[in-house]
Amino acid sequence: MALGATEEQDLLRTTARQALEKAFPPDYARRLLDDEVPEAPWPQLARLGWFGIGIDEAAGGAGGDFTDQAVVLHEMGRVLAPAGYSATAVGAAPLVAALGSPEQRAAWLEPLLSGARLGVLVAGPDASIEAAGGQGGLALSGEAGPLPGAAEAQTLVVAADDASGGTVLSLVDRETTGVTITPVRGLDATAQLARVSLNGVQVRDGAVLGAPPDTAAKAVEAALDRLAVASVAELVGAGEKMQEMAVEYAKVREQFGKPIGSFQAIKHMAADMVVRLESSRAVVHYAALSIAEGRDDSDEAASAAKAYAAEAIGLLAEDALQVHGGIGFTWEHPIHLYVRRAASVARLYGSGDMHRERVAQAVGL
Partner 1 sequence: MNPRRPQPELALTPAQEAFRDEVRDFLGRVAPKQWLEPGWRPPSDVKERLAFQREWDGKLRDAGLVGMHWPAEYGGRGASLLEQAILEEELAWCGAPQAGLTFVGLNLVGPTLIAHGSPAQKTRHLPAILASEEVWCQGFSEPNAGSDLASVRTRAAVDGDALVINGQKVWTSYAHAADFCMLLCRTNPDERRSRGLSLVIVDMHAPGVEVRPLRQATGESEFNEVFLTDVRISRDDVIGDIDDGWRVAMTTLLHERGTALLGIQVRQRQLVDRLIARVKTMERDGRPLAQDPMVRQALARASIECDVVRHLGYRCLETAIRTGLPGAEGSAAKIFLSDFIRRFSRTALDIAGAAGLDMGEEDWGHQYLGSFALSIGAGTTQIQKNILAEHLLGLPRG
Among 121, 147, 169, 359, binds partner 1 (CB under 8 A): 359
Point out which span in 28-36, 65-73, 191-199, 258-266 binds partner 1 (CB under 8 A).
258-266
Residues binding partner 1: number (CB under 8 A): 44
Helix (H, G, I), strand (E, B) or coil at 6: coil
Q: How far is the CB of 56 from partner 1 (least distance, A)?
A: 23
User: Is there binding between residue 102 and partner 1 (CB under 8 A)?
Assistant: no
Give whichever of 7 and 103 is closer to partner 1, judged by the CB atom: 7
d(CA 79, CA 273): 19
- Of residues 238 through 257, those in contact with partner 1 by CB under 8 A are 247, 250-251
d(CA 309, CA 299): 15
d(CA 180, CA 209): 22
Point out which span in 79-87, 195-203, 230-238, 264-272 binds partner 1 (CB under 8 A).
264-272
For residues 303 to 342, the per-residue mask of contacts with partner 1, x marking binding by CB under 8 A and - elsewhere, is -x--xx----------------------------------
Q: Which amino acid is located at 252 in the chain? A: V
Give whichever of 104 and 290 is closer to partner 1, judged by the CB atom: 290
Among 101, 199, 279, 330, binds partner 1 (CB under 8 A): 279
Distant-in-sequence, close-in-space partners of 271: CB < 8 Å, separation ≥ 6: none
Q: How far is the CB of 344 from partner 1 (least distance, A)?
A: 21
- 240, 199, 226, 217: which is closest to 298 by C-alpha? 226
User: Is there binding between residue 282 and partner 1 (CB under 8 A)?
Assistant: yes
Q: How far is the CB of 241 from partner 1 (least distance, A)?
A: 14
Query: Is the separation of the CB atoms in 82 and 145 below 8 Å?
Result: no
Q: How far is the CB of 278 from partner 1 (least distance, A)?
A: 4
d(CA 67, CA 257): 46
Q: How far is the CB of 305 from partner 1 (least distance, A)?
A: 9
Distance of CA 186 to the CA centre of its chain: 15
User: Is there binding between residue 13 and partner 1 (CB under 8 A)?
Assistant: no
- 291, 364, 355, 347: which is closest to 148 by C-alpha? 347
Give whichever of 37 and 360 is closer to partner 1, judged by the CB atom: 360
Query: Is the separation of the CB atoms in 91 and 120 below 8 Å?
Result: yes
Give whichever of 14 and 182 is closer to partner 1, judged by the CB atom: 14
Give whichever of 163 and 360 is closer to partner 1, judged by the CB atom: 360
Distant-in-sequence, close-in-space partners of 123: CB < 8 Å, separation ≥ 6: 144, 157, 158, 159, 220, 223, 224
What sign does the dihedral 159-287-97-10 (CA atoms) show? positive
Query: Is the separation of the CB atoms in 292 and 311 below 8 Å?
Result: no
d(CA 38, CA 26): 13
Alpha helix ranges (H) inside 207-334:
213-252, 264-292, 298-323, 325-328
Among 125, 132, 297, 327, binds partner 1 (CB under 8 A): 297
Point out which span in 136-144, 176-184, 210-218, 353-361 binds partner 1 (CB under 8 A).
353-361
Give whichever of 120 and 238 is closer to partner 1, judged by the CB atom: 238
Point out which span in 201-209, 231-239, 260-268, 328-336 binds partner 1 (CB under 8 A).
260-268
Give the interface with partner 1 as residue ranges (CB under 8 A): 1-4, 247, 250-251, 258-259, 261-264, 266-268, 270-272, 274-275, 277-279, 281-283, 285-286, 289-290, 295, 297, 304, 307-308, 353, 356-357, 359-360, 363-365
